[in-house]
Amino acid sequence: MAIAKHRTKVDLVEREILRKIERGELTPGTVLQQRDLARQLDVSPTPVREAFRRLEMAGILHSNAHGVEVAERVTADDETTRRVLAVLEGLGVELILERATPDDLAVLRARNERYRTGSIEECHEAHWQLHLGMFEIARSTVLTNHLRLLWSLVDTASSARRSREESAAHHTAILDALASHDAELAKRLMREHHSHKPALD
């Protein structure tokens, strides 16, 4: 994997580790090998070591006698986690509204449809790309990085969540609010999405 010049090597190593956790390629208890990861990403051990340090401070990795492992994830039913997610995503609404184009929203709607109708693998990927895509529109590195860290801590599979149809309906309502530039409604729907409330009224 070539390293793009516009990002630091530490950033890219960190993002690759998060990506693997988010997609279930690295599970809790998996021991990460510094040299193997450096070789896979075509970097020296130094940025890998720094990425490990950052992610350990965030609670995503931890060190023990076996080395550096992926930490246990918190459940998606954790009230504090849901509230923090809702607040962070709510903060991004104003930025999204300032910068989103009709084409951006069309891409997000297509991802929501793939989430609603796709296979389990497609559903997981589309859901992740939908949420990430909204906040990439905001073009706030700080906000996106904080959300990525928090999403990586949450085990969404552990929760008795609403059905996929209900969740897709929530996404549609959020996108409709963004399309109509209704910031207050979009923020409220974000909160409801993370509180697992079925109602959208």
- What are the distances in angstroms from CA 100 to CA 136, 183, 184, 186, 191? 10, 13, 16, 13, 20
pLDDT, residue 169, reads: 94
With respect to residue 187, please indicate whether it lies within any of the assigned structural domains: yes
Same domain, 83 and 122: yes
Q: How many domains does the chain have?
A: 2
- Same domain? For 120 and 187 the reply is yes
* Domain stop point among 18, 48, 72: 72
Whether residue 56 is found in the same domain as residue 79: no
Any domain includes 200? no
Q: What pLDDT was estimated at residue 196?
A: 57
Model pLDDT for residues 58-106, shown as the tens digit of each residue: 888 999 888 899 988 776 566 777 778 778 888 888 889 999 999 999 9
Do 120 and 49 belong together in one domain?
no
Domain that holds residue 143: 75-195
Q: Are residues 160 and 112 in the same domain?
A: yes
Question: For 173-201, what is each residue's pLDDT tens digit?
Answer: 999 999 999 999 998 998 888 765 443 43
- In terms of domains, do 179 and 119 share one? yes
User: Could you tell me the pLDDT band of residue 110, with boundaries at 50, 70 and 90?
Assistant: very high
Distant-in-sequence, close-in-space partners of 109: CB < 8 Å, separation ≥ 6 = 172, 175
Q: Give the pTM.
A: 0.68
Query: Which CATH number fits the domain that encloses residue 41?
Result: 1.10.10.10
Residues 47 and 93 in one domain: no
Range with the poorest average pLDDT among 26-40, 96-110, 140-154: 140-154
CATH code for the domain in which residue 120 is found: 1.20.120.530
100 and 182 assigned to the same domain? yes
Structure confidence at residue 92 (pLDDT): 87
User: Could you tell me what percent of the chain has a pLDDT over 90?
Assistant: 40
Q: How far apart are CA 16 and CA 10, in angstroms?
A: 10
Domain end residue (candidates: 32, 55, 72): 72
Q: How far apart are CA 139 and CA 124, in angstroms?
A: 23
Q: Do residues 54 and 98 share a domain? A: no
